Amino acid sequence: MSAVKLDLLLETQRLERCPFPIPVGWFFAAYSDSLSPGEVRNINFLNQEWVLFRGENGKAGITDPYCPHLGAHLGHGGKVVGDNIRCTFHHWEYDTEGFCKAIPYAKVMPPICKKQPVLRTLPVVERYGMIWAWYHPKAEDPQWELPAIPEMEEPGHVKPRRWTGSVNTAIQEVAENGVDNVHLKYLHGAPIVPPTEAWFDGHTMRIDIGHGYIIGDMYGPGLNVMRFTKDGVTATMVSYSVPITREKTQMNMSFTYKDYPQGTKERAIAEHLVAHSIGEAEGESSAGFESVDMIVWNNKKYRAKPLLCDGDGQIVKYRQWFKQFYPGLETSEKI
């Protein structure tokens, strides 16, 4: 039997659904307004459990759950004391950087406590009303900053409408949709395959779908700002997917636009653009990521060497760009 035929016979066993590690980047952890000072919460994302807390000074922290002392879980019985999180077992305290700040019964603190963090934490920033965590598998410092999104940060825009869903695939697969313009016609029912261009620059990617109808800007794997423009009116969809595990992605979105007065044509267009992108526009079968994409994502397998044709757009370039977010895996055959 030829090698090609044998390869085909073993296809189902050979292909993996999600052969990717958790990528590097800034990821959404929680909405800022969901976490009050003094609150402690366990969260699952980035393929493990973490403890999220907010100190009395308002600063949020995300730590590994297990106390460096004797391993108690900081998210079960742990409390915020001042600006630190205090372990329930022997009351050791840690700050948002992972430094041990107090041991109530120690006459001499272990010398290491002065020098370095003893608990793993993630770098955290708050932007756009959200808590963001920087993830790097080797805990390296952030390699870029989150961008300004005026629609989310400046007055004069409607309160963002939020949407959340979950899909059983890796974040790379979800984001590949952006460069896959062909599926917009065949899966989503767009009247034509919209002309699409993409540009890749460092950690950013820009896509233009339909000659300016949609401009999408990706900033690493965890943030995608898409602006839909029609008749001079722009609606913004900010998408911030986050890997929960290697095979599960939480998709989060916020929709907003300029606060045009009620009853104006501009307001109606903006509302329609949001309805269209969320898949609620009346009498339309197009757009709508909620159902049709989910069926594909939840059931597909990743093909590292896809069979492509000349109309397939920039899938290969996108995948090459995405590889930078898996440091140390440049030579992997599977990805």
Footprint on this chain of ligand FES (rule: CB under 6 A): 67, 69-72, 87, 89-90, 92
Q: How far is the CB of 94 from ligand FES (least distance, A)?
A: 9
Of 187, 198, 185, 233, nearest to 213 (Cα)? 233
Contacted by 212, from Fe ion, ligand FES, none: CB < 5 to 8 Å by type: none
Tell which one of 293, 313, 322, 326 touches Fe ion (CB under 5 A).
293
Q: How far is the CB of 35 from ligand FES (least distance, A)?
A: 22
Contacted by 92, from Fe ion, ligand FES, none: CB < 5 to 8 Å by type: ligand FES
Q: What is the DSSP string of 90-131?
A: T--EE-TTS-EEE-TT-SS--THHHHS-SS-EE-EEEETTEE
Stretch that binds Fe ion, among 130-138, 219-227, 267-275, 290-298 (CB under 5 A): 290-298
177 binds Fe ion (CB under 5 A): yes
| Cα–Cα distance, 62 to 122 (Å, whole number) | 6
**Phi-psi group of 291: left, alpha or beta (phi > 0 → left; psi -120 to 50 → alpha; rest → beta):** alpha
Contacted by 293, from ligand FES, Fe ion, none: CB < 5 to 8 Å by type: Fe ion
286 binds Fe ion (CB under 5 A): no
Radius of gyration, alpha carbons of the chain:
23
| Cα–Cα distance, 212 to 207 (Å, whole number) | 9
Q: How far is the CB of 96 from ligand FES (least distance, A)?
A: 17
Q: How far is the CB of 204 from Fe ion (least distance, A)?
A: 21
Distances (CA, A) of 258 to 55, 226, 267, 276: 34, 15, 8, 17
Which residue's CB is nearer to ligand FES, number 90 or number 300? Answer: 90
Of 18, 70, 72, nearest to 47 (Cα)? 18
Strand partners, 250: 166, 242
| Cα–Cα distance, 5 to 11 (Å, whole number) | 10
173 binds Fe ion (CB under 5 A): no
Which residue's CB is nearer to Fe ion, number 101 or number 185? Answer: 185
Q: How far is the CB of 251 from Fe ion (least distance, A)?
A: 11
Q: Which single residue brings its beta carbon nearest to Fe ion?
A: 293
Which residue's CB is nearer to Fe ion, number 32 or number 177? Answer: 177
Q: Which two tokens stand for residue 231?
A: 């008749």
Contacted by 319, from Fe ion, ligand FES, none: CB < 5 to 8 Å by type: none
Q: How far is the CB of 100 from ligand FES (least distance, A)?
A: 9
Binding site for Fe ion (CB under 5 A): 177, 293
